[in-house]
Amino acid sequence: MEKRVLGSSGLEVSALGLGCMGMSFSYGSPKDRGEMIGLIRAAVERGVTFFDTAEVYGPYTNEDLLGEALEPVRGQVVIATKFGFNLNPDGSPGWQGVNSRPEKIRTVVEASLRRLRTDVIDLYYQHRVDPAVPIEDVAGAVRDLIAAWKVKHFGMSEAGAETVRRAHAVQPVAALQNEYSLWWRRPEREMMPLMEELGIGFVPYSPLGKGFLTGAMDAGTELAKNDFRSSLPRFTAEARKANQAVVDLLASIGGRLGATPAQVALAWLLAQKPWIVPIPGTTKLHRLDENLGAVTLRLAADDLRELDEAANRIPIVGDRYPEHLEKMTGL
């Protein structure tokens, strides 16, 4: 497996990570725990060293799942998790607003460490910016956790450029996790130049458009009520019908190269910068193998140019999130 370093942090990970959220949260009912442990360990056997979770996924159950799966190989892998929400006190899915107060961070990190069955978290992200807490205070709290050897690196998720710059001045930000794919390219405007300037690695989540860019769904696909995509404007039947043009473009390039749409989408991301490490999620072994095939798929300059030019001519239909969720981002 090819390795990459996240910016100037020195944090080396596999060129593709594994996003574990969907094993426990958001994409319908939680999957069988034993099967997911097997899938995570199969990823390790295939050279994946970078695993992504968060306390809100479940809540809590995804961290616990990852902790059990990776305990036997803890020294071989990099675990990233996230803080920053007030979770429902009854343990039900969802949250009651953001919370990145330093005292909250100091409390939740201990619980995450226990669930992950580890002494230290390799990469600790602020999941969403808390407008009520100065980002300098958040960065300072994580800096203290790093000094206490409870955390190795500080990350941020869906934060804007000025917020990242201010945080980085207090505690260097090793990685930024924002959505990025061929159908969501907003990070190219401000965030990628900033990451290049500051030496911050980029970890794109939803690199396959929450599954849409794989070609596995179309306008006729029925989404379960407990699949959060059913509430997203970009996943209405009408939007999926219009956005099929992006999948068709990926399939066209892939057909020429002997690759699937998902592999082309991931290879395109990997070709953008050497410090980009996508974290596609899956609950299926054959999809894991398909995704990993993207690491060895080399897109020629002509392929990349064709993808860029053709994608720019396709109007993407539907917002990525409803307004109340988009407001939680700093972009």
142 close to 149: Cβ distance less than 8 angstroms: no
130 close to 100: Cβ distance less than 8 angstroms: yes
End-to-end CA distance of the chain: 33
How far is Cα of residue 53 from the mean position of the Cα atoms in its chain? 9
Q: Is the torsion defined by CA of 9, 84, 77, 26 positive or negative?
A: negative
Q: Which residues are catalytic?
A: 57
What is the rounded distance in angstroms from the CA atom of residue 223 to the CA atom of residue 256? 31
9 close to 123: Cβ distance less than 8 angstroms: no
Task: Give how far Cα 271 sits from Cα of 194, 214, 277, 293, Å.
Answer: 18, 18, 10, 14
What is the rounded distance in angstroms from the CA atom of residue 44 to the CA atom of residue 41? 5
